[in-house]
């Protein structure tokens, strides 16, 4: 372009046009994705817990992966097109566990991205108003409720297999406690040897809160409960204590579930679940017709979570509560036993169909009043 043409172009730009360009680009300072994420996490110091900061960092590492994939080395260049590309990749391609991320997951991911970009705007890392181009999906009523359920019958298949081939092992006892009690991972992890009242006619487990930051229950003392257990589980725990449990004492407490290192870790319990809920691990055929010899998820326990049919401990709570409600156990009873409010049971854990609920009402009324119409 000649100097005369440049002059003409400059003359055509009004003061307002120049100001708009300055407002959009400002005085940007080059910043890499890694630097930006580190600064953002530091900026949240004091605003959120250490656990939440770690969660933010883990999520934003997906953005870092995308930027490397697309050769984005300077976030000054991160705009609407990049936001759209990242959103599409994050939803459909980033996860090895599922084909695409759920709508609620994407909403939470994009809320974080928007906050991250807002921060970068404040330090001249991206163009102004970049964050406004992030559009998290809106959830309708009923969306965002997890439908994860590990059916009780399948879990019983798992514990039956363990009873036959790994009786009274740590893995067997751990998973069986979830099956019988319907309690959370934190509660099972927190159990001490003295909490297992198994040598009596009415055996039970005593779930207690400990304000040590390590063996806490979700709702503190409100979560404490003595939970009745079957004689089968009581006998199993007794055999585990007698023959398999490693004697350990930590700060004056003796954990029920132990390893050579001490109390059995939550992460290890999760690994047990992913390992043993793989169909191929308990002699069942693969629902996806995969050859175990060629399947990464079947190759070792470290990759077990990649199996689309394996489940984490929280899925047992869904299956347990759903099964009990199908059997007619009242919500108020389950609320006390499993440490979850009736409202939450209704919204998050009740996987029964409308037909199942109707049939149960009919059955209850028929048994109590001799009638079959509950209209």
pLDDT along the chain (375 residues), means of 10: 45 51 66 96 85 89 95 94 92 78 86 93 93 83 56 94 98 98 94 97 96 85 94 98 97 96 93 93 86 84 81 86 89 93 83 82 83 48
- Exposed, middle or buried: residue 182 (CB in 10 Å: 0-12, 13-18, 19+)? buried
Query: Are the C-beta atoms of residues 174 and 268 closer than 8 Å to each other?
Result: no
Strand bridging mode 258-259 / 204-207: unpaired
Residues 79 and 175 reside in one and the same domain: no
In 3D, which of 42, 95, 34, 28 has the Cα closest to residue 60? 34
| Residue that terminates a domain, selected from 77, 104, 133 | 133
Residues 128 and 181 reside in one and the same domain: no
Q: CA-to-CA distance for 205 and 194, rounded, in angstroms?
A: 9
- Residue 344 resides in a domain: no
**CA 50 to the chain's CA centroid:** 17
Q: CA-to-CA distance for 80 and 117, rounded, in angstroms?
A: 12
In 3D, which of 364, 282, 268 has the Cα closest to residue 313? 268
- Exposed, middle or buried: residue 36 (CB in 10 Å: 0-12, 13-18, 19+)? buried
Q: Which helix (H) or strand (E) holds 204?
A: strand 204-207
Report yes or no on whether pTM surpasses 0.75.
no
- Residue 326 resides in a domain: no
Q: Into how many domains does the chain fold?
A: 2
Domain that holds residue 200: 152-314
């Amino acid at each position: 372009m000649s100097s005369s043409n440049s002059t003409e172009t400059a003359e055509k730009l009004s003061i307002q046009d120049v100001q708009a360009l300055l407002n959009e680009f400002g005085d940007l300072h080059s910043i890499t994705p890694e630097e930006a994420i580190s600064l953002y996490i530091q900026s949240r110091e004091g605003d959120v817990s250490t656990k939440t900061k770690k969660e933010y960092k883990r999520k934003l590492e997906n953005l870092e992966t995308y930027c490397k994939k697309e050769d984005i080395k300077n976030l000054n260049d991160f705009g609407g097109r990049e936001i759209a590309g990242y959103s599409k990749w994050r939803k459909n391609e980033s996860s090895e566990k599922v084909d695409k991320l759920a709508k609620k997951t994407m909403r939470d991911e994009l809320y974080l991205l928007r906050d991250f970009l807002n921060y970068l705007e404040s330090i001249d890392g991206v163009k102004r108003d970049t964050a406004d181009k992030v559009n998290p999906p809106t959830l309708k009523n009923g969306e965002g409720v997890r439908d994860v359920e590990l059916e009780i019958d399948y879990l019983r298949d798992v514990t039956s297999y363990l009873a036959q081939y790994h009786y009274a092992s740590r893995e067997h006892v751990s998973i069986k406690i979830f099956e019988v009690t319907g309690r959370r991972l934190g509660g099972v992890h927190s159990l001490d040897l003295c909490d297992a009242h198994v040598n009596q006619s009415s055996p039970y487990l005593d779930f207690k809160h400990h304000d040590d930051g390590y063996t806490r229950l979700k709702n503190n003392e409100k979560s404490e409960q003595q939970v009745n257990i079957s004689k089968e589980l009581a006998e199993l725990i007794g055999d585990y204590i007698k023959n398999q449990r490693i004697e350990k004492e930590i700060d004056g407490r003796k954990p029920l579930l132990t390893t050579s290192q001490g109390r059995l870790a939550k992460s290890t319990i999760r690994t047990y679940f992913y390992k043993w809920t793989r169909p191929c691990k308990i002699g069942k055929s693969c629902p996806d017709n995969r050859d175990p010899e060629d399947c990464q998820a079947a190759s070792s326990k470290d990759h077990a979570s990649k199996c689309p049919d394996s489940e984490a401990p929280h899925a047992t709570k869904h299956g347990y509560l759903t099964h009990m409600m199908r059997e007619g156990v009242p919500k108020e009873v389950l609320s006390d036993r499993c440490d979850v409010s009736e409202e939450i049971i209704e919204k998050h854990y009740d996987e029964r169909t409308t037909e199942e609920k109707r049939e149960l009402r009919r059955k209850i009324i028929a048994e109590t009043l001799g009638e079959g119409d509950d209209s």
